[in-house]
Amino acid sequence: MVKIIALTDYKNRFGSKHFDHPYRSGMDKALLTTLFLNSGFEIEFTQFTELINRKDIPKNCYYLYTSSEDIHYRYKNFIEDCILFLQQSGCKVIPGYDYMRANNNKVFMELLRKSTGNRELQTIVSEVFGTYEEAMSVLLRLQFPVVIKTSEGATGRGVFKAENEREFKKKVKKVSNSFSLFYHFKEFIRVNIHKGYIRESDYRNKFIVQNMIKGLHNDWKVYFFGDKYYIFYRPVFKHRGFRASGGGYDNYFYGEEAKAEPGLLSFAEDVVRCFKVPNASIDIAWDGTRFHLIEIQFLYFGTAGIPYSGGYFTKDNSDWKFVENKLSIEEVYARSIELFINNNS
């Protein structure tokens, strides 16, 4: 029997689940145990520290893991260390460390997108910066309006539009602000003591600048889980400006009601083929001519589209069909892992 070790956080949570009980407790581990066992997999849940601090770490198994959205992502940073260590030690982690690094890290997500070399995934031109000063160096070649994004954040938070140079400077200072009075004072002293010293920037939070796709009235969120695709339509509401995400799940349209443009699911399928993952959450826009990949996450993303949907899309030969079947998040997740392991073993 194939062995899986699923790594839980310090609260003993695994994964994310909409409508979980208790609140923010993650997936039902007992149900996952039963589902995996029925598919021929033995699964063992253990916390990161319980595994990492062992003298001998098993390598003849697969490792699943959760991420974290803790304040300032401090625990998530610890999880990254653990997953990188396991991968460097020869353990089979699902998904690979790169995808963990991209979780709630839009700067690395953009670099990961770029690393595919697939131009269809790069129709949105993205530039990443580590400081305000770096962004000012490209100011003269920007074509406004542009979109500015913090590296962290979800549901449309940390996403801004700049119509001109003045707005650009203001918004970039806002997203990159790392001011600390104590260190600002220390830098002031260094400048006055050491001739030629260049002070540290007060704006060192990384961020992204992208060209803006004009005239969008909506986007689509597509969940990929092995052989199942869940889709929902997210309209742009006036009170949210140009952002479709964060509009409230009760205001979206799911499954066959999602008003999907022809080719949307095939585009989503092409996107996930560029990455070696069992599941993904994909934001896609249509400008009337072509599809655009807005963002993609590979683990620990919102799963509300599953309980809100009456079914999912799957591919039958070359045709997409809708299957009316309301499944639990645990069922969908377990099946995606089963397929991934069987297809990559």
**What local confidence, expressed as pLDDT, does residue 241 receive?**
58
Summarised one tens digit per residue, pLDDT across range 242-258 is: 655 666 788 899 999 99
The upper half-sphere exposure of residue 316, i.e. CA atoms within 13 Å in the direction of its Cβ, equals: 6
d(CA 28, CA 45): 11
Write down the mean pLDDT value for the chain: 94
Summarised one tens digit per residue, pLDDT across range 187-210 is: 999 999 999 999 999 999 999 999
pTM across the whole model: 0.92
Q: What is the CA radius of gyration of the chain?
A: 22
**What local confidence, expressed as pLDDT, does residue 242 receive?**
60
Give Cα 101 distance to the centre of its chain.
9
d(CA 113, CA 102): 10
Summarised one tens digit per residue, pLDDT across range 144-199 is: 999 999 999 766 678 999 999 999 999 999 999 999 999 899 999 999 999 999 99
Summarised one tens digit per residue, pLDDT across range 206-256 is: 999 999 998 888 999 999 999 999 999 999 866 555 655 666 788 899 999
Summarised one tens digit per residue, pLDDT across range 94-113 is: 999 999 999 999 999 999 99
